[in-house]
Amino acid sequence: MSTTWKYQARRLKQMIDSNNETQAHLFMERLMLFPVDIQDRIIEDISDLNHCSSDAVASILSHYSILELK
């Protein structure tokens, strides 16, 4: 997992942990250029994690970024 994904994952995890979904959407839209429907899926997947670590969040972000490139 790249350092960039881990950093973005930590930031996103903090926003979701603090129930700031609007900021999470804006963060993904501005920095990661994910469309809104993908943002919703990412947030839902992160919310469903049993142990929400930066590595787990980075894995989800990486998964969706690869899907969009195909």
The single residue listed with the structure tokens 């899926």 is: 41
Mean of the per-residue pLDDT values for the chain? 79
- What average pLDDT does the segment 12-16 reach? 84
Q: In whole angstroms, what is the distance from residue 63 CA to residue 26 CA? A: 19
How much is the pLDDT for 70? Answer: 43
**Tally of domains in the chain:** 1
Containing structural domain, residue 63: 3-69
Q: Could you tell me the pLDDT band of residue 66, with boundaries at 50, 70 and 90?
A: low
Read off the pTM: 0.57
Close Cβ partners of 48 (under 8 Å, ≥ 6 residues apart): none
Q: Are 64 and 41 in contact (CB under 8 A)?
A: yes
